Each structure stands twice: as C-alpha cells, then as structure tokens.
C-alpha cells in the first residue's frame, strides 16, 4: 500500500536549506523587532540610526544570536530556539520600554532581583499597551508556527557531540565577547548616536546604544569591582586617621526622620505659575527650620537610592545589601538608641524586610505587619495615618527613657496620578500641557498640599514636648509626570540632565532639620537658616553638623570631600563652586577617586564601632 505523503514534506537536503534560511531570517527578525522596541518611541528614524553605527548594531545583535544558537544546540529544534529566544529578548525589551515610560529609568541588571516587585507594581499602574506589543506577540507566534512546519532540520542522534560542542562554543564565545567588548566602558562611551536621541537623559543615552549592549553594561556596573588603584590597607589607613566619636551622653536627643515620597517644591521651577499656591504651608514651616535641597540620583522611581544613601552615607549606585552592612543605624544602636521605622508599602518591595534588618533596625513596620490594620480601606496608608502613627511610636519609646531613632518612608504622592479628571483644586493652568499632564500635575500638587499640612501638624505635635527631639524631613525625588516625564518639557523647563538648571529641575528635592525647644537647649543651636545643596549620601552628616556632633570615622572622612563637592549626582554631575558641573578639575577628580576607594572599603567591611564611653 502506498504511504500517504505528509503535509509540506521536503527532501532532507531541502529541509536543511529551509531550516538554515528560516533560522537566520528568524534571528534577524527578532533582532530588528528588538531594535524597534528599543527606540522607546517605535520611531523609524531612531530605528535606522542603529544601521549607521555598525558597532552598536553588531553588539546588540550578538546576544540574540548567541542565545538563538545555544537553544538550538540544546533543543535540536529551530522553533523551540526561536520561541525561547524571542520570549526572553522581546520580553526584556518591553520591560525596559514600560519601565522608562512609567518610572523614567531604564531596565538594568540589578532589577532582575526585583522582578516580583516590578510585577506587583505593574498591576497598580494604568498601563497603556502599545499596538506594537500585540504585533510583537503575533510575530513571535507566527514565526514559531512557520519554523515548526518548515524548519524541521535536526542533527542526528549520533552527532550528539556536535550539539554539545556547539553549546559549549556559545558559552565560550559569550565569555570572550564579554572580555573583548561588553566590559569595555570606553568603547561604550565613545559610540555617540545623538542625531535622534538625547544624550542628556540616562534612558535616552542607553537607548541610543541599543538595549542589549546597555543591559550588558549594567551587568558590568552591578558587579562589585574595586575602584582603580584600590588598596585595602591604604583605604583602611585613610579612614581610621579619624576616630569614631560618640554623641555625648547628655546630647543624645531623640531623632525622627521622615522621607516623603515624591515630595518636591515646584515653586522653585522657573516659569511655573500657580493659580493657588500648594506650598504655602510648607514654606511657612521651612522658615523655622534649617533647610536646603538635595540633588537626588533618581526621578520618579528608585526611592531606595535616596533612602539608603541617607542611612549609610553611600553614593549612587547603592549596593545590594544582601548581608549586614555598615550604616549610621548601627552607629546609633551602639550608643544605646532603639532604631525603628515604617513604610506603608509591602515588605518585599526593594527587599526592605531583610535589608532594613541588615542596616541595624530593631523593628520595621509594613503593610503586612501593621499598616493594613490602620488603613483597611486603602492599599497604602496616607500621611494623615502614617505621621500620627510615628508620633505614637515615639511616645511609647520616650516612656522607656532611652534615646530613640525612627526612620519612616511615606507612600502618599506615589505615582501614578489620575490623568482623567481633577481630584481637588486647580493649582496650575493648562497652558501648553496636554490634557493628561494637566490633570496629573494638578492631582500631584493636590497630594503635595495635603502632605505639607500633615507635615506641619506633625511638627506641631512635638513643640511642647519635654523630651528633646530633632526632626529630619525630606523628599526622595521628583515625581514621574507624563510618559517619559513629558510634563517637565511641556512646562517649558530645561530637561537636559547635564546642565545646571536641567539637573536641578529634574532631581531637586527639599530637606528640613527642625528641633523642639528642649533639643535646642541641649544642643545650643537655633536650627534655622539655609543649608547647602547636598547629595542624599551627605544629608546625615549635615544633620550631625547642625547638632554639633562629630560622628563615626566614616562620616568625618566624608566631610573632607563633602565640603568641596557636596553633590555627586550619578557620577555625572557635581556641585563644585556653587554650580553643577558635568566634569571636575583634575586635582578634584584625584581626591574623588581617593574618596571612592575609602567608600568601597566601608561598603564591604562591617566594623564594630570602637569608641569608649
């Protein structure tokens, strides 16, 4: 009996020809699709710009090619290789796209450890899915089906060794390409693709180099690597030229610090005019505080960089904190302080549950163990709930007659902001703003106005206390406003990150240092006046300055550089001679490198404080 011919059955030779051609076509298809997504705007001019830079084109194609070949050798099936590679690469591209669109910063290697956190955050955002997303899924499915039926060439079982050799070769080539290209920061930096991209914004700068090359660069940056010229013995000697100095026992006042989510002062933005001033209460409070501004390292997201910079004195980027780490919390604990805090968010976010213990906190409160009961009607407790709760915790500890440190991070004013209608009053007229940005900006300012009122009431609750207390109140970063933060440009602001005005417009946030009369009597300072503009990592040292305390050796060493360069913004902008510069004089660069070496030592050495009572 005649065998029935199978559908689309080809001769062995034609099967291999079809498989090879379709495989290569599919490989290039994935790469070109990723290249389009990586433009962040699905822009054909940006897309074609990569072809004018062969190095950028090749180093973004290479990871896709290595993955495709590796999974073919492992599975021996072209369609499996295509499906896995496409899911990984296209998926990573869209994670980057959505992160830039809704958080303002690109997807980098360290974000992999926060994958579950990111998934939960996405469920809270009103994410607009672009048409290209569905088109990408269609292409992935279509390509898999075509390869399943037409790309059926497989290596015989007896050539198993060839598959093993191919997979090993892919792995070996990955290490070689890492050594030759992906770990070469200079090669990355000299590739300039600015015709259709802005090099002044981090997300744009990375997009101009293509996503995969930029992601590989972030892998390199995430690996703890000692600074050039690092010598542990020399760094230790320079650090311990200073001694850990305890706060005098009679001056150990209570310290309460609150970091306010996305709290920033838009009245400082030139050209922004208010119909009604949302900062009236805040400015009145500011006048009776020692106050200044921070230049944060992040905008819209990355709260943890400001938070942990304040607690440790470490500059951007923050380490992973997967083991107990030196911090100012440990210093205060060594002096007998009880260290507590809270955040009306989930304990898994930024791994705060574990990291805060590594930093020395005795107890930290989250939704799961505290705030859910206080605010069951809302997913996150507002400032009207959080701040009185901090006051309650303070009162409970004050009754125990031991010094107290509390560090709380709020959630009110966290993105997203409603973009369809006003939830409160109009503070800024629409002008050149899009309808969505008009609503988002005014709704953000509505939240900020309420925060200022809650902040003032919080301060008032400590005024008449007999127990001495110092309050530290500061914002973590500017808010995300509009897709790719388009609201700032529509307000007519300079948004170039590498200019003095642009950097301040995008990254400035206020800080206040206040003391009640009992603390002023002990510390001998009126806690008024304007302080310097600082990086978050220098804020705690400024608090100690105002209080008249020397602090640990690390803080004392910090001051030797902070007093010269008070802002190191993402290692790209520096406050020197009162102006933010993109570069420093050569002699200052030398001192900064020395500072970085000592900081690296402190980051990786959890030491016990050696002062004697």
| Domain-embedded: residue 546 | yes
Residues with Cβ within 8 Å of 219's Cβ and at least 6 positions away in sequence, in order, are 109, 182
* CA dihedral for 495, 499, 503, 504, sign (positive or negative): negative
Closest CA to 451 of 282, 323, 606: 282
Main-chain phi, psi angles of 314, to 5 degrees: -85, 140
Closest CA to 317 of 334, 333, 302: 302
| Domain-embedded: residue 7 | no
Provide the 3-class DSSP secondary structure of residue 335.
coil
Provide the 3-class DSSP secondary structure of residue 594.
helix
Of 187, 222, 257, the residue at which a domain comes to its end is: 222
Q: Which residue range forms the structural domain that includes residue 137?
A: 12-222
| Domain-embedded: residue 610 | no
Q: What's the rounded Cα separation, in Å, for the pair 231 and 511?
A: 36
Packing angle of the helix pair 211-222, 54-75 (nearest 10 deg): 80
Q: What's the rounded Cα separation, in Å, for the pair 447 and 450?
A: 5
Tell me, what's the pLDDT at 107? 86
Q: Based on the fold, state whether residues 27 and 164 are members of the same structural domain.
A: yes
Closest CA to 547 of 290, 306, 333: 290
Residues with Cβ within 8 Å of 384's Cβ and at least 6 positions away in sequence, in order, are 450, 454
CB-CB contact of 568 with 574 (8 Å): yes
| Domain-embedded: residue 597 | yes
Q: Please report the DSSP string for 391-427 in residue order.
A: HHHHHHHHTTTS-EEEEEE--TTPSP--SSS-SS---
Question: How many C-beta atoms surround the C-beta of residue 294 within 10 A?
Answer: 28
Q: Based on the fold, state whether residues 205 and 114 are members of the same structural domain.
A: yes
Residue found by looking up tokens 């290490």 in the block? 175
How many Cα atoms are found within 13 Å in the side-chain-facing hemisphere of 6? 5
Strand partners, 341: 364, 407
| Domain-embedded: residue 228 | no
Question: How many C-beta atoms surround the C-beta of residue 309 within 10 A?
Answer: 24
Q: Based on the fold, state whether residues 292 and 337 are members of the same structural domain.
A: yes
CB-CB contact of 503 with 573 (8 Å): yes
Q: Based on the fold, state whether residues 254 and 208 are members of the same structural domain.
A: no
Q: Based on the fold, state whether residues 276 and 411 are members of the same structural domain.
A: yes
Q: Based on the fold, state whether residues 216 and 266 are members of the same structural domain.
A: no
Q: Strands, E, within 192-273: which ranges?
A: 254-260
Closest CA to 363 of 422, 408, 412, 414: 408
Give the dihedral of Cα atoms 510, 516, 519, 525; nearest 10 deg: 60
Q: What's the rounded Cα separation, in Å, for the pair 177 and 181?
A: 6
Q: What's the rounded Cα separation, in Å, for the pair 141 and 23?
A: 15
Residues with Cβ within 8 Å of 317's Cβ and at least 6 positions away in sequence, in order, are 110, 221, 297, 305
Residues with Cβ within 8 Å of 42's Cβ and at least 6 positions away in sequence, in order, are 36, 130, 132
Q: Based on the fold, state whether residues 175 and 240 are members of the same structural domain.
A: no
Distances (CA, A) of 303 to 260, 262, 298: 10, 8, 7
Q: What's the rounded Cα separation, in Å, for the pair 396 and 610?
A: 30
Residue 401: Cβ-neighbour burial (10 angstroms; 0-12, 13-18, 19+): exposed
Q: Based on the fold, state whether residues 412 and 537 are members of the same structural domain.
A: yes
| Domain-embedded: residue 229 | no
Q: Based on the fold, state whether residues 446 and 553 are members of the same structural domain.
A: yes
Tell me, what's the pLDDT at 1? 46
User: Per the structure, how many domains does the chain have?
Assistant: 2
CB-CB contact of 534 with 295 (8 Å): yes
Closest CA to 291 of 516, 530, 526: 530
Of 222, 254, 280, the residue at which a domain comes to its end is: 222
Q: Based on the fold, state whether residues 241 and 211 are members of the same structural domain.
A: no
CB-CB contact of 435 with 491 (8 Å): no
| Domain-embedded: residue 262 | yes
Q: Based on the fold, state whether residues 191 and 313 are members of the same structural domain.
A: no
Tell me, what's the pLDDT at 276? 96
CB-CB contact of 508 with 294 (8 Å): yes
Question: How many C-beta atoms surround the C-beta of residue 544 within 10 A?
Answer: 20
Query: Would you say how long the chain is, in residues?
Result: 613
Of 175, 198, 222, the residue at which a domain comes to its end is: 222
CB-CB contact of 319 with 500 (8 Å): no
| Domain-embedded: residue 215 | yes
Cis amide leading into 317 (omega within 30): yes
Residue numbers of the chain with a pLDDT score lower than 50: 1, 4-5, 7, 613
Q: What's the rounded Cα separation, in Å, for the pair 214 and 205?
A: 9
Q: Based on the fold, state whether residues 337 and 191 are members of the same structural domain.
A: no
Q: Which of the 8 DSSP states describes residue 377?
A: T
Residue 175: Cβ-neighbour burial (10 angstroms; 0-12, 13-18, 19+): exposed
Closest CA to 550 of 599, 598, 558: 558
Read off the tokens for 437.
Answer: 């940005």
Distances (CA, A) of 24 to 21, 313, 516: 5, 51, 71
Q: Looking at residue 440, which CATH number applies to its domain? A: 3.40.720.10
Question: How many C-beta atoms surround the C-beta of residue 42 within 10 A?
Answer: 15
């Amino acid at each position: 009996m005649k065998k029935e011919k199978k559908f689309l059955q080809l001769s062995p030779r034609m099967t291999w020809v079809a498989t090879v051609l379709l495989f290569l076509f599919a490989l290039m298809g994935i790469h070109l699709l990723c290249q389009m997504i990586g433009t962040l705007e699905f822009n054909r001019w940006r897309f074609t710009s990569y072809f004018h830079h062969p190095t950028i084109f090749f180093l973004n194609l290479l990871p896709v090619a290595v993955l495709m070949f590796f999974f073919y050798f492992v599975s021996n099936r072209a369609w499996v290789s295509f499906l896995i590679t496409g899911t990984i690469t296209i998926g990573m591209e869209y994670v980057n796209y959505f992160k830039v669109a809704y958080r303002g910063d690109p997807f980098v290697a360290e974000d992999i450890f926060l994958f579950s956190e990111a998934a939960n955050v996405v469920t809270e955002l009103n994410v607009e899915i672009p048409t290209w997303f569905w088109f990408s899924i269609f292409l992935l499915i279509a390509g898999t089906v075509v390869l399943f039926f037409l790309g059926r060439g497989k290596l015989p079982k007896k050539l198993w060794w060839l598959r093993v050799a191919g997979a090993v070769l892919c792995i070996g080539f990955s290490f070689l390409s890492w050594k030759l290209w992906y770990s070469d920061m200079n090669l990355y930096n000299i590739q300039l693709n600015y015709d259709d991209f802005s090099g002044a914004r981090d997300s744009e700068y990375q997009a101009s180099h293509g996503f995969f090359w930029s992601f590989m660069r972030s892998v390199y940056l995430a690996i703890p690597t000692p600074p050039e010229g690092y010598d542990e013995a020399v760094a230790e000697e320079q650090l311990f030229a200073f001694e850990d100095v305890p706060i005098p026992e009679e001056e150990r006042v209570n310290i309460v610090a609150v970091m306010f989510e996305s709290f920033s002062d838009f009245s400082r933005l030139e050209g922004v005019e208010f119909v009604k001033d949302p900062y009236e209460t805040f400015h009145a409070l500011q006048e009776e505080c020692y106050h200044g501004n921070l230049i944060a390292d992040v905008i819209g997201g990355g709260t943890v960089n400001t938070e942990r910079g304040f607690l440790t004195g470490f500059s951007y980027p923050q380490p992973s904190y997967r083991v107990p780490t030196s911090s100012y919390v440990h210093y205060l604990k060594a002096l007998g302080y009880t260290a507590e805090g809270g955040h009306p968010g989930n304990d898994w976010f930024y791994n705060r549950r574990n990291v805060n213990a590594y930093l020395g906190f005795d107890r930290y409160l989250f939704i799961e163990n505290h705030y859910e009961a206080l605010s069951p009607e809302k997913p996150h407790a507002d400032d009207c709930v959080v701040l009185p709760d901090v006051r309650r915790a303070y009162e409970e500890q004050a009754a125990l007659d031991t010094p107290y440190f509390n560090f709380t991070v709020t959630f009110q004013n966290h993105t997203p902001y409603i973009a369809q209608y006003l939830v409160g009053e109009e503070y800024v007229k629409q002008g050149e703003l899009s309808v969505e940005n008009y609503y988002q900006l005014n709704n953000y300012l509505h939240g900020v106005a309420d925060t200022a009122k809650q902040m003032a009431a919080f301060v008032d609750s400590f005024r008449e206390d007999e127990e001495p207390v110092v309050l530290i109140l500061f914002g973590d970063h500017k808010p995300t406003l509009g897709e790719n933060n388009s609201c700032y440009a529509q307000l007519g602001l300079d948004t170039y990150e590498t200019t003095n005005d642009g950097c301040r417009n995008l990254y400035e946030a206020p800080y206040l240092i206040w003391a009640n009369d009992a603390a002023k009597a002990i510390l001998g300072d009126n806690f008024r006046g304007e302080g310097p503009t600082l990086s978050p990592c220098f804020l705690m040292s400024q608090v100690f300055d105002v209080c008249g305390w020397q602090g640990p050796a690390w803080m004392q060493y910090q001051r030797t550089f902070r007093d010269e360069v008070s802002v190191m913004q993402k290692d790209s902008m520096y406050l020197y001679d009162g102006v933010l510069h993109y570069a420093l004089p050569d002699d200052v660069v030398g001192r900064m490198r020395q500072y970085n070496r000592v900081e690296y030592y402190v980051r990786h050495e959890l030491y016990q404080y050696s002062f004697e009572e």
